Chains A and B, each alone.
Chain A
Amino acid sequence: MATSNKQYKAIGEELWKGRSEKINAELFALTYGALVVQLIQDYEDYEEVNKQLEKMGYNIGTRLIEDFLAKSNLGRCADFREVGEVVAKVGFKSFLNISPTVTHGAAQPPTSPSRPTSNASITQAASAGATFTLTLDENPLAEFVELPDEALEGGLWFSNVLCGVLRGALEMVQLQVQAEFISDVLRGDDSTEIRVKLVKYLEEEVPVGDD
């Protein structure tokens, strides 16, 4: 990788500091909480709520990536591993001011050696099925939240919007991924983890509209 981890961290920091409009964290958390509660009341089915949150996230992600690329000026990532690094260190940092840790998983066939990121094309045949896992040690969306028993039993992923954002954003850069929560401290697990799995590289034009 041409850009090292430290540089990603620094870029993330700079982007966060450079943002002129930030929102109060409590307001953000309360707004998101109200949104989830309203969805629950409307749909009354936790699986459906999960889906809707993911859809909303998808719409956010497709727009967010433009802002991200414009501000960060990063070029293409050489491989999926680098995607994970950038998402965690630059993406999450610049928008939510959190730094999740990345764990890369799944056997990847050896990718091409690192090249300069600009003008490099992503290795096509390799690494479909590659994954990385983001471990969030703090989640600004779920700041004051405690899930009631029905939500726990119903299988609600409170912050599922994040999965949608990841899917939408990465789809705009020709990566089709599946993002899902593996564990969540709101549910009583030890940590909050999102697993992002690469399905395939999108060769042709991205189909317009997902519905």
Chain B
Amino acid sequence: MSHHLFLLSPSDTPLYSLTHHSTKPVPSVTSPLASNLPTWSTSAFAGTLTALSGASSATQHTSGGAVRVGGGQDRHVIQMIANAGLDVIEDVMRRENTMYLKSVDKFNEWTVSAFITPGNMKFVLLHEAKNDEGIRQFFMEVWEVYVKTMLNPFQTAHTAIRSSVFDNRVRASARKYL
């Protein structure tokens, strides 16, 4: 079971993305490659842009992103789902005041959950199974790590997050909660 996390700035530029393969046993679709080496792909701008521009070639430029067959597993489909969810997220954002918006959208087997920080950063998580409490805790931890990263003077709200400290913490969090 895999999860895809995207952090988007207030102007909807992707600042960070992560694909996490959970090792928790969940009855769900298994793709042949999923249970092998966990492929951590942390593409920033490049991967997202090539995907969004409609490049549907199977070969991806994203570092290490495993290209798998099967519905909804391709990288650019993931991107599309995430983007489609943005509209819904903004709708819900206006109505509700909470930070953790549970699952805002569903697409085939993917559910989109979102978390809006007070600074209007959107954390979007695509996942297959239901895991509200775990995801909420995950989001809270990612938020904490994000705030600490933001204190770095070289990091603005619109630059991609390349810090390896941030990366490691988010992965550890993902392992813990997802």
Contact = CB atoms under 8 A, between A and B. Distances in A.
Interface of A: 26, 29-30, 33-34, 36-37, 143-149, 151
20 contacts: A26-B151, A29-B151, A30-B151, A33-B152, A33-B153, A36-B153, A37-B153, A144-B148, A144-B151, A145-B152, A145-B153, A145-B154, A146-B149, A146-B152, A146-B154, A146-B165, A147-B154, A148-B162, A149-B162, A151-B154
Given A143-B151, A149-B162, 8 more contacts: A26-B151, A33-B153, A144-B148, A146-B154, A146-B155, A146-B165, A147-B154, A151-B154
B11 interface: no
A29 B151 CA distance: 9
Given A146-B163, A146-B165, A30 B153 contact: yes
Contacts of B163: 146
A37 B155 CA distance: 10
Interface residues of B, number: 10
Interface of B: 148-149, 151-155, 162-163, 165
Contacts of A151: 154
A29 B148 CA distance: 13
B93 to A, nearest CB: 28
A33 B162 CA distance: 18
A37 B151 contact: no
Most A CB atoms within 10 A — which of B154, B155, B162?
Answer: B154
Contacts of A37: 153-154
A34 B154 contact: no
Contacts of B165: 146
Contacts of B152: 33, 144-146
